[in-house]
Amino acid sequence: MDPLKKINIIEYRDGSFSESADSVTSEKRLRIFSNDKEVLSLLCTPTMVRELVVGFALSEGLVENKGRKDLQQPWCAERIEIMWKQDEIEVHL
């Protein structure tokens, strides 16, 4: 998804108004769920969402993946479920 979108703006410069197109960064609401409980909601640029979620989950201790052989199913970033909705992104760990 392209994080930039074109919009029409009215610009005031040198004492007069003019209409033109400009690029703005788009944002989407990101909701992260762990065990069906929402643990985070934030606005973000809708790029590299998987990387953002993995970094958050690991740094906040929501998941561990230290190569432990005693775990039945070690946590795997590829199993993150990302659902792109109209106005938001929903992620299930």
- Residue 12: per-residue pLDDT: 96
- Residue 80: per-residue pLDDT: 82
- Residue 85 pLDDT greater than 80, yes or no: yes
- Residue 73: per-residue pLDDT: 53
- Residue 54: per-residue pLDDT: 86
Strand pairing of 16-25 and 4-13? antiparallel
Instruction: Return the closest-CA partner of residue 35 out of 57, 20, 2.
Output: 57
- Residue 33: per-residue pLDDT: 92
Domains for the chain: give ranges and CATH numbers.
26-65+72-92 (3.10.20)
Residues 45-84: tens digit of each pLDDT? 999 998 899 888 888 888 765 655 554 555 566 678 888 8
